[in-house]
Amino acid sequence: MNRYVIYTDLDGSLLDHEDYSHAAADPLLKQLEQKGIPVVPCTSKTRAEILPLRAELHNRHPFIFENGAAVAVPHDYFGRKPEEARSKGDFWVRAFTLPRDHWLSLIRNAAPDFQEEFAGFSDMNDADIVRLTGLSAQQAQLARTREYGEPIHWRGSPERLQAFIERLRKAGAVVLRGGRFIHVSGRCDKGRALTWLNQQYAQQADGRAPLSIAAGDSDNDVAMLEAADRSVVIRSPAHPAPQLNRSKNVYHSSAFGPEGWVEGIRHFITTS
């Protein structure tokens, strides 16, 4: 097994913030695959969204979806069933939180006081999501197939948003801010999912944990960036960089999106 595993956010990181292109990263992705270095998507996207993208990227590795709510590992990837995982389709899935219906009920309870100030994916149709994201109609349909949480488009003021978040947190939800939406789910995050998956890699290699490199651009990437051995903070054209408690082994890109991703990954792969 190679000594590295790369955990990467998608939108605004491996994928361009505006057009979702990964073309700038394709040559490096090919080199990493040839060297046997896994690139693990770690994203707010759904399992249904990641599958076609994974095929497009020729990626055969596990992936972390819905902001760390669950990890999907191909059945034939490891030599044995991963810990606490259940079979779903072609994957072993390890969930870290309750299903979506639980979080929708909490949002509905908060809704009367914030009725006109937000819309969740469950309130939207495909056209709404296309308008907000620039996705195709087919991609928007896949984005709505949430399993463990709910993305919300906020329309009100920042002050009211903070009140809304506090209401949900008091009810037991965790609220993360992504590049376009806030995400409501349970006490799960990309960092916890990364740690679990890195442990599975270690178990398959007689306890030798691979060195983890994480790349992300948003606040919902902070737990992942904090948990990894090396972190790439990718510059965004849409929002300020996420703030980390750590400063050691952190690289801040000068370029945006996939160009910044290549910049940061090359920094660690060539200097570690």
Q: pLDDT per residue over 225-253, tens digit each?
A: 999 999 999 999 988 999 999 999 999 99
- For domain 4-96+189-271, is the CATH number 1.10.3720.10? no
According to CATH, the superfamily of the domain at 100-185 is Putative mannosyl-3-phosphoglycerate phosphatase; domain 2 (3.30.980.20)
pLDDT digits (tens, 9 = 90+) for 34-60: 999 999 999 989 999 999 999 999 999
pLDDT above 80 (res 2): no
On the question of pLDDT at 272 being above 60, the answer is no
- Asked if pLDDT for residue 1 goes beyond 50, the answer is no
Closest listed residue to residue 228, CA positions, set 60, 5, 1 = 5
Give the pLDDT score at 115. 85
pLDDT in tens, 185-212: 999 999 999 999 999 999 887 778 899 9
Question: Taking the model in full, what pTM does it have?
Answer: 0.88
From-to residues of CATH 3.40.50.1000 in the chain? 4-96+189-271
Q: Which two tokens stand for residue 225?
A: 């960036």
Q: In this predicted structure, what is the pLDDT of residue 266?
A: 97
Q: Catalytic residue positions? A: 9
Residue 271 has pLDDT above 80, yes or no: no
pLDDT at 176: 84
pLDDT surpasses 90 at 179: no
Would you say 99 and 145 are in contact if contact means Cβ atoms under 8 Å apart? Answer: no
Task: Give the CA radius of gyration of the chain.
Answer: 18
The CB-side HSE value for 105 (13 A sphere, CA atoms) comes to 8
Checking if the pLDDT of 155 tops 60, the result is yes
Query: For position 206, what pLDDT does the model report?
Result: 76
Sign of CA dihedral 163, 164, 167, 173: negative
**Every domain range in the chain assigned CATH 3.30.980.20:** 100-185
What average pLDDT does the structure give for the chain? 94
d(CA 89, CA 168): 32
Whether the CB-CB separation of 264 and 251 falls below 8 Å is answered with yes
pLDDT, one tens digit per residue, over 62-114 is: 999 999 999 999 999 998 899 899 999 999 999 999 999 999 999 999 889 99
